[in-house]
Structure 1
Amino acid sequence: MSPSSWIAAAGALTLLVVGGSACAAAPEFKPAACVGDYSAVSQKVDCGNLIVDEARGQTRSRRISIAVAIVRASAPKAGLPPVIYLHGGPGGAAVAGLPRLLQRPAAREYVGVDQDWIFIDQRGGGLSAPSLDCPGTNLTDAGPPTDKDADGIVACLQAFKTKGVDLSRYNAVEVARDVQDLRKALRLKQIDLFGGSYGTRIEAAIQAHAPKGVRAVVQDSPWPPEADWTVGGPEAVSVSIDIVMAKCAVVAECAKRYPDLKAKLSAMAERWLAGPQTVGGKTYTADDLGGYLMDASYFNAAYLPRDLWKIIEGDVGPVAEFVGARDYYREGQFMTHLCKEELPFESRAAIATGASKDPVARLMVASMQRMHDVCKRIDVGPISPAEQKPVKTKIPTLFLAAEIDPGCPPDLTRAAAKGYKGGQVVIVTNATHGVTSRNACARKMVRAFFANPGQPVDRSCLPAADAPMTFVYD
């Protein structure tokens, strides 16, 4: 899309923003009709919008809208405060997809049972306004897959800025303050927090900057502030794939079907690094394969040996499916967070240096470096080293980490938890990113922990550390 088209799109979005005020105004919650089909949802859900100043403390600040949906507890227990759910990303969303979530049997085991659960679309994303989405561009956790995507994201953000969006106000610290404003607007004395993936980074900002009223915190697939997103990122993907391949090698059926998988994968990576691969009349790049590998090792470890074997043998269907579905982030929101609180503290050159000896890791170097290139071209305001400091808190916190997770490796959780007095760390064998949604034992732990944060969670339902992994072959 051309820059002029981005300006038009940004203008359309900013029309949704509440008009500026002559002086700093108090946050306000305005009830509104829920968006989506809740006809098959058994819980009662109330919706609305939190209206806050975009730039807190500044006169004549624009007012922005943050979408909120409150799932009322089906069997509320006295004394338990609401849980505020913080989605991942950055650049994700929660509210529009809530009807589908609430229809899943797994979600009904812990969401809106004992406590109200409050879902928000963090400022800059989802149904909130403005939503810093950049249609026509692609972006994954590995970065923009092409230079064209990177240029498009920059043009998009520049267009938002031209229309008055203050890009320095879309980051974890501001979301943390939004959560406190929501607590006040809803007149909640206490809240609990549940965050998934990058939502745990928001929790860390709340615990560091705005902890008032927070009683207990669950971090699912934790991402701590002190972690490096791009430096070491490609190697983390390769390590996760190595873990899966090692687990395949000790399962007789998997080992028989996919012999010598690690060596074959390395050889395939070298071929893709040497130049684009044309299959079935379509061309795919090393960026495409690297992005696929990161995404697949995040969520689809049980299928990974099967799909790697397909690609090795020339069937690029798994990569093609990924390429066709990688427009799932609000790209502008993603980049304002990373450019403010993550990438300024990392070295672009170090990405390549660390991955130089591993062909699988090298597949992700170029796309991760493009994130740095985007950040150099947009202005997100002053950078604070405080946003890279480990959190120190006494708020009871339960960490649920997956054994297989290229984005949020369990070693990061173990290190970060040292600053959490009394924090409980659970590493789930054979699990992948998003532990609670995939593991019934984790769901029981969440409810038990929120019911009594001072008690150790029951780990007896967890798989043993040496439990073999179950793979899908068909």
Structure 2
Amino acid sequence: MSRLSWIAAALGALTLSSLGGAAHAAAPQFKRTACAGDYKGVDLKVECGNLVVDETRGDPKSRRIKVAVAIVHAAQPKAGLPPVVFLHGGPGGSALAGLPRTLKSKALREFVAADQDWIYLDQRGGGQSEPNLDCPGANLTDAGPPSEKDARAIVACLKAFQAKGVNLSRYNAVEVAQDVQDLRKVLKLPLIDLFGGSYGTRIEAAIQTHAPQGVRAVVQDSPWPPEADWTVGGPAMVSNSIDIVMAKCAVVAECAKRYPDLKAKLAGVAARWLAGPQTIGGKTYTADDLGGYLMDASYFTAGVLPRDLWKIIQGEVAPVAAFVESRDYYSEGQFMTHLCKEEIPFEDRSAVATGTETDPVARLMVVSMQRIHDVCAAIDVGPISKVEQAPVKTAIPTLFLAAEIDPGCPPDLTRAAAKGYQGSQVVIVTNATHGVSRNSPCARKIIRSFFQDPTQPVDRSCLPAADAPMGFTYK
């Protein structure tokens, strides 16, 4: 899931109020603009613009909104390969905020814009798109609002957007799927490929279900399928992910020696934090703080997790404190409009706690995940369709890349979901964490070869063995 939020930049300098003026029944348009961001040192040609569409399709009185787009031209374009449309995670993340950094990354350039153009967009409601449903001052993580105050602030923020005329029912995966098709048409692209990461794979699923025209091939990195439950079973997924890391530590001599009996000791710390807030170093922390940290850390930093867990066990809360200071990485409104439409209506608030009774680490996430339900109960995102919870069935060639260690998108979900994708290929990467392509040279090689010919089996010979020991950082 994309970890950065971005307050709407002035691409085109239109405000929310000016976007909501006269009635529109116009066709989608693409208007070129200057690129927002520091592209100095980027050696690729990048063109930027806005896809301008009706917020509510089919409504002649709809406001017009902007979807920010950046087109990155390939370093060595190969004839016959269509452009790749990149779909960021979250929901509530941004593709354009970190794009200059991506294009300066030697690792990511192994497949990004190597021989295909790549098209990045900030999905409607977030990033550099307008409006941006950001809620300044409210915190939100994948585990949910970390306090009642944050939950109330998000509700008030969303209701304020509604009062300004924003139609919250139009900020979800189905609408983004239609935006992608509108972009394909206005750019006159007969074919496109898709690359999605984390919740971006949920957008890919919506495209493959609702708007598959012109899609040649799809890569899902750290997949989140429509039929999965976000909150019910969510605490256990986090706990299981941490268990995997601790078990891997236990079989590496150096790690086991430095951090003995991690599982029992972490359970003891979790039970203590669940009993009440902890005041350490003059600051007070809650069970929500620890739970959110554990989920975030096991997403991306499994290699240092045993070291940092040991710090916490010893009473040093610096890892948690650093996390608490960085919890404003989502466009909160966009996050909630998606979840309240596509996930939470199909889940039971009371069932979030099911199975956590004997697992204090899992219990750390229960209350914050239940707050997601509370926010959804307080806002109106329009009619709900069971189609949004149905498994995908498609014949579009799809490559699934799943990490062995992933508290949000565990590999079992990928294996189950892939059954509906005719001829799909599933790659589970040992010792990898969320966002497989970021840290795996083998995964990057596989992605590029798949896009070059999605009809052929990918070469898995570079993947680590299933029993390969995990590397840990101790300093």
The TM-score with structure 1 as length reference comes to 0.97
SS of the counterpart of 2:112? coil
Deviation, 1:413, is: 0.1
Deviation, 1:69, is: 0.3
Task: Tell whether 2:297 aligns with 1:296.
Answer: yes
**Deviation readout 1:29-67 (Å, 9 max, x if unpaired):** 001000111111011100000000000011111000000
Task: Check 1:372–1:19 CA distance in 2 against 1; reply closer, same or farther (3 A cut).
Answer: closer
Map 1:154-303 onto structure 2 (within 5 A): 154-303=155-304
Which residue does 2:41 correspond to in 1? 40
Partner Cα distance (1:18, 1:156) in 2: 19
Which residue does 2:435 correspond to in 1? 434
SS of the counterpart of 1:426? strand
Partner Cα distance (1:16, 1:36) in 2: 24
Which residue does 1:69 correspond to in 2? 70
Verify the 8 A CA contact 1:17 1:63 in the aligned structure 2.
Answer: no
Amino acid aligned to 1:156? C
Verify the 8 A CA contact 2:24 2:63 in the aligned structure 1.
Answer: no
**Deviation readout 1:268-320 (Å, 9 max, x if unpaired):** 10000001110000000000000000000000000000000000000000000
SS of the counterpart of 1:66? strand
Deviation, 1:20, is: 4.5
**Deviation readout 1:321-355 (Å, 9 max, x if unpaired):** 00000100000000000000100000000011222
SS of the counterpart of 1:430? strand
Partner Cα distance (1:356, 1:27) in 2: 52
**Deviation readout 1:149-208 (Å, 9 max, x if unpaired):** 000000000000000000000000000000000000100000000000000000000000
Map 1:332-371 onto structure 2 (within 5 A): 332-371=333-372
Deviation, 1:442, is: 0.5
Partner Cα distance (1:13, 1:153) in 2: 24
Partner Cα distance (2:40, 2:337) in 1: 36
Verify the 8 A CA contact 1:91 1:334 in the aligned structure 2.
Answer: yes
Map 1:292-441 onto structure 2 (within 5 A): 292-441=293-442
Amino acid aligned to 1:275? G
The TM-score with structure 2 as length reference comes to 0.96
Task: Check 1:440–1:16 CA distance in 2 against 1; reply closer, same or farther (3 A cut).
Answer: farther
Partner Cα distance (1:55, 1:355) in 2: 41
Partner Cα distance (2:150, 2:215) in 1: 39
Amino acid aligned to 2:210? H
Verify the 8 A CA contact 2:32 2:49 in the aligned structure 1.
Answer: yes
Partner Cα distance (2:169, 2:22) in 1: 19
Partner Cα distance (1:216, 1:231) in 2: 31
Deviation, 1:96, is: 2.3
Deviation, 1:18, is: 3.0
Task: Check 1:17–1:201 CA distance in 2 against 1; reply closer, same or farther (3 A cut).
Answer: farther
Task: Tell whether 2:454 aligns with 1:453.
Answer: yes
Amino acid aligned to 2:267? S
SS of the counterpart of 2:19? coil
Task: Tell whether 2:105 aligns with 1:104.
Answer: yes
SS of the counterpart of 2:107? helix
Amino acid aligned to 1:38? Y
Which residue does 1:472 correspond to in 2? 473
Deviation, 1:15, is: 2.9
Verify the 8 A CA contact 1:111 1:117 in the aligned structure 2.
Answer: yes
| RMSD value, Cα | 1.0
SS of the counterpart of 2:305? helix
Partner Cα distance (1:21, 1:449) in 2: 46
Verify the 8 A CA contact 1:234 1:362 in the aligned structure 2.
Answer: yes
Partner Cα distance (2:377, 2:361) in 1: 27
Verify the 8 A CA contact 1:17 1:129 in the aligned structure 2.
Answer: no
Deviation, 1:101, is: 1.1
Which residue does 1:125 correspond to in 2? 126
Partner Cα distance (2:379, 2:238) in 1: 28
Deviation, 1:454, is: 0.1
Could you tell me the percent identity over the aligned residues? 77
Partner Cα distance (2:145, 2:170) in 1: 22
Partner Cα distance (2:75, 2:105) in 1: 15
Partner Cα distance (1:446, 1:353) in 2: 38
Amino acid aligned to 1:269? A
Which residue does 1:134 correspond to in 2? 135
Amino acid aligned to 1:398? L
Partner Cα distance (1:304, 1:338) in 2: 28
Deviation, 1:403, is: 0.1
Partner Cα distance (2:313, 2:362) in 1: 17
Partner Cα distance (2:14, 2:31) in 1: 20
Verify the 8 A CA contact 1:142 1:368 in the aligned structure 2.
Answer: yes
Partner Cα distance (1:337, 1:347) in 2: 17
Deviation, 1:16, is: 6.5
Deviation, 1:23, is: 4.4
Partner Cα distance (1:263, 1:225) in 2: 35
Provide the aligned length of Structure 1 versus Structure 2.
463
Amino acid aligned to 1:121? D
Amino acid aligned to 2:308? D
Partner Cα distance (1:242, 1:67) in 2: 40
Amino acid aligned to 2:164? K
Verify the 8 A CA contact 2:20 2:165 in the aligned structure 1.
Answer: no
Partner Cα distance (2:15, 2:79) in 1: 42
SS of the counterpart of 1:47? strand
Verify the 8 A CA contact 2:177 2:203 in the aligned structure 1.
Answer: yes
Which residue does 1:27 correspond to in 2? 28
Partner Cα distance (2:303, 2:186) in 1: 44
Amino acid aligned to 1:158? K
Task: Check 1:13–1:198 CA distance in 2 against 1; reply closer, same or farther (3 A cut).
Answer: farther
SS of the counterpart of 2:140? coil
Partner Cα distance (1:121, 1:16) in 2: 20
Which residue does 1:144 correspond to in 2? 145
Amino acid aligned to 1:266? A
Task: Check 1:20–1:210 CA distance in 2 against 1; reply closer, same or farther (3 A cut).
Answer: farther
Partner Cα distance (1:147, 1:13) in 2: 34
Verify the 8 A CA contact 1:84 1:117 in the aligned structure 2.
Answer: yes
Partner Cα distance (1:89, 1:96) in 2: 13
SS of the counterpart of 1:354? coil
Amino acid aligned to 2:191? Q
Deviation, 1:22, is: 3.5
Partner Cα distance (2:429, 2:355) in 1: 28
Which residue does 1:153 correspond to in 2? 154
